[in-house]
Structure 1
Amino acid sequence: MSPNVLSQRLRELTEHGVVRRRDLGPPTRVHLYELTEWGRALEPILLQFGRWGSQSPQLPEGALGIDSLLLTIKAGFNPARAADLRGVYAFHIDADTYLAEVADDSVQLRRGTTPEPDATLTTDIDTLRAVCGHQMTLAAAVDAGVLALTGDKDATQRLTDLLLAPFTPRAFADDGT
């Protein structure tokens, strides 16, 4: 998408109350766009749209970015498994850190850190794509030294289950299982 098209789309979304713009002061001097409460209400619709799209008979071209991979985790999350997966998990992907918090019947994903996650996954985006896309097993990535899991055995297993469940065949079945 060209910068002009992106600017126009952000302007339209702002005018319609879906996002709001915040200007960060010095030294960054950047514009930050965030969803409004009304914009956040779109999340269930977008996640359902993702579930629908995952059943496409044709695979999309191109590599998924980190945001798409994380949205896939959120869209593929089965609320019935929340009690089994409860915890706070950190994903160190390249130079960025993301948190997944499983509580009640949902998973919340965001950028950020926490002092003591239950388990942590550290890798690069290419390895994460390969593991999620079943081109490499998690064990092979760990053995090759390109992925590290830290935390106690139960917590790292929960993190692994949370991460990989949406990427298994038919993960987005009609019944959500």
Structure 2
Amino acid sequence: MAAREYGQYSGVTQALELVGERWAMLIVRDLLVGPRRYGELAAGLPRIPTNILAARLKELQAAGVLRRAPHSRIIVYELTPYGRELEPIVLALGAWGFKALADPRDEQIITPDSMTIDLRAAFRPEVASRLPATAYAGRFGQAELLIRVDGTVLDVQRGDGPADLAFATGPGIRRLITGELAPDRAISTGIVEVLGGHRNLLGRFANTFHLAA
């Protein structure tokens, strides 16, 4: 029996044998945002050793979770339909883990893909469907995201663009998303800095993206 096998015949153990190795689920998380080149995956997971990244990609490809595909004359990694079935699991895992988040350590950062998945996990389409379409330009540390909400549809892209509300924040955004801080208090304490647009829309953002602490 291989060292990574658990010796049990069950769906849970099989799943863990496929994606339970360290870094595997974070690779899946980032590929849920979109296809990535090898270098982009490495940049999004700055502490992963290159040999581990190569090994995990090979293992996940062999398991049918991801594949290599040509894209604009370059090779990217993308999830297969089987791999994309992990999306609700990853979002649920993110929402569960959000409950245990405390203040970040000095070496912890927010990446564009990690924040995108956190926003997907926190998105409340049943609330958004009752609100006007809104665009937010969010700067989360070094990660810049353009967040568009139109009814039950959430679209998150890297970069900047026209927005109804532009704001800058950091890991403290957790306190707004969990409801620990009211929007006005988040602004007055400097957790969120309004850069442009209508500051009252931060309340709409907090209603649209919410995870219980």
**TM-score normalised by length of structure 1:** 0.63
Structure 2: stretches of 5+ with no match in the other structure: 1-47
What is the alpha-carbon root mean square deviation over aligned residues?
Answer: 3.7
Determine whether 1:77 maps to 2:123. yes
Kindly state the Cα deviation for residue 13 of structure 1 after the two structures are TM-superposed. Answer: 2.1
Partner of 2:174: 132
Partner of 1:8: 55
- Indicate if the aligned counterparts of 2:128 and 2:208 stay in contact, CA closer than 8 A: no
Alpha-carbon distance change, 14 to 64 in structure 1, aligned in 2, over 3 angstroms: same
Partner of 2:85: 41
Kindly state the Cα deviation for residue 151 of structure 1 after the two structures are TM-superposed. Answer: 1.2
- Indicate if the aligned counterparts of 1:149 and 1:156 stay in contact, CA closer than 8 A: no
Amino acid at match of 1:45: I
Kindly state the Cα deviation for residue 9 of structure 1 after the two structures are TM-superposed. Answer: 0.6
- Indicate if the aligned counterparts of 2:136 and 2:146 stay in contact, CA closer than 8 A: yes
Alpha-carbon distance change, 85 to 35 in structure 1, aligned in 2, over 3 angstroms: farther
Partners of 1:88 and 1:37 in 2: how far apart?
30
Partners of 1:59 and 1:154 in 2: how far apart?
27
SS of the aligned residue for 1:137 comes to: helix
Partner of 2:134: 87
Deviations 1:86-138 (A, max 9, x none): 32222134554212222232433232443x22221234xxxx11342469833
Structure 1: stretches of 5+ with no match in the other structure: 172-177
Percent identical: 28
Partners of 2:202 and 2:136 in 1: how far apart?
9
Larger radius of gyration: 2
Amino acid at match of 1:98: L
Aligned length: 155
Kindly state the Cα deviation for residue 11 of structure 1 after the two structures are TM-superposed. Answer: 1.9
Partner of 1:53: 97
Partners of 1:46 and 1:150 in 2: how far apart?
33
